[in-house]
Amino acid sequence: MTTGSPWFRATNEPEPEPIPADPYGGPSSYQEPAPAPYPYTEQAYQDPAQAYQEPPQTYGQPAQTYQEPAQTYREPEPVYEAPYGTAYDASPEAPREDAYTPPYEPYEAPEAPRPSSGDTTVLEAVEPLPGPGRAERRRAAKGGGRSKGRRGGPSATTAGAPTGEQPSAPLSRVEARRAARAAKDSVGVIASRAVGELFITFGVVMLLFVTYQLWWTNVLAGQETDRAKEQIEDTWAKGDADKDDSKPGAFEPGEGFAIMYIPKLDVVVPVAEGINKAKVLDKGMVGHYAEGKLKTAMPSDKQGNFAVAGHRNTHGEPFRYINRLQPGDPIVVETQNAYYTYEMASILPQTSPSNVSVIEPVPKGSGFTKPGRFITLTTCTPEFTSTYRMIVWGKLVEERPRSEGKPKALVG
């Protein structure tokens, strides 16, 4: 019998049987199992690349594209029955036949009630509120227009002002005077305004003057030359023997006695006695040098220089393009008795106005070396100035009586 803890046994308890060392009977009893027979048989080697064969390709039928049959679907339009049994289209464009449209009546605002003749309560005057005193006005001016009453409340000027608006404080007499002086223009502003208006007026006057010089003077000169030509032709038609150009002193200063033709420039201009600017040149005519030391010969003289002057710009400008003349170009002078044809010989583009040698009987610089019958045209240069003079000379090549008709230079 065993008592107590399992770790203690009685002396008379038998020994346990020994456990064998090898459950399989020990190492002496172990035998190696016989190898199993090899399941595969030897076969001849074959290359896998040669033995492989490509499987045949099979193609299916091409895919067919399904096509939806074209069908035009149309939404049926609703048709409604009218209350009276008439079918109509209910689209927005078609108005209903049975729709009621009220007549148009303009709106009239109700008229305010007017007081009757006996009602005096409406027209009764309301007693105005007392205005601020002088001290309050000063405080309002200093405080930027926000004055307060004596007890801190709003003053009489702000009591009636609408909400959200800045009431304007009344100004004192001194402030009103200052504001009036500030509103007035200063002396500098008035002076600058006056100077500006003066310059504008001056510019307008200058523009009108230029227009008058460049355009209107030519119009007036054209009218004057037409009248002078008619007067000269009337004198020739009368056959007045006293108006013979061969007689010295036969013509008065400013009186026309000849007509000059420059076919190349399409110039037909009367020739008058003298070179007075107001009586001759400004009227569009050509003036003959026939006064004092500047006296020159007439076309009918057997020897000498017939010198004339004319404007190049403004007042008819008969000699404006004489710089375009070339040697051999004809210049014809018609008088009462004959036609005198000159040929252009030379030109002096520029010389001093005091150089009177250009109109001498044998003009210097012309190329003529001995006396003859010459013509000299003088005008100002450059254009629109009178600083210098341009000179054109010619020599007589034909004298033809008027009874024989016009010369070839005018006929051609």
Catalytic residue IDs: 311, 380, 389
Q: How many beta carbons lie within 10 A of that of residue 222, not counting itself?
A: 13
313 and 383 Cβ atoms separated by less than 8 Å: yes
Q: What's the CA gap between 260 and 340, in Å, rounded?
A: 10
Can you spell out the DSSP letters for 80-115?
EE-TTS-EEE-STTS--TT---PPP----PPPPPPP
How wide is the angle at C-alpha 51 spanned by C-alphas 46 and 52, nearest 5°?
140
Helical segments of 245-346, H only? none
The two three-digit tokens of residue 224, written as one number = 């004057």
Unique residue bearing structure tokens 């600017």: 277
The two three-digit tokens of residue 143, written as one number = 């405080």
Question: Is 318 in a helix, a strand, or coil?
Answer: coil
Q: What's the CA gap between 289 and 308, in Å, rounded?
A: 6
Helix or strand holding residue 304 (H, E)? strand 304-309
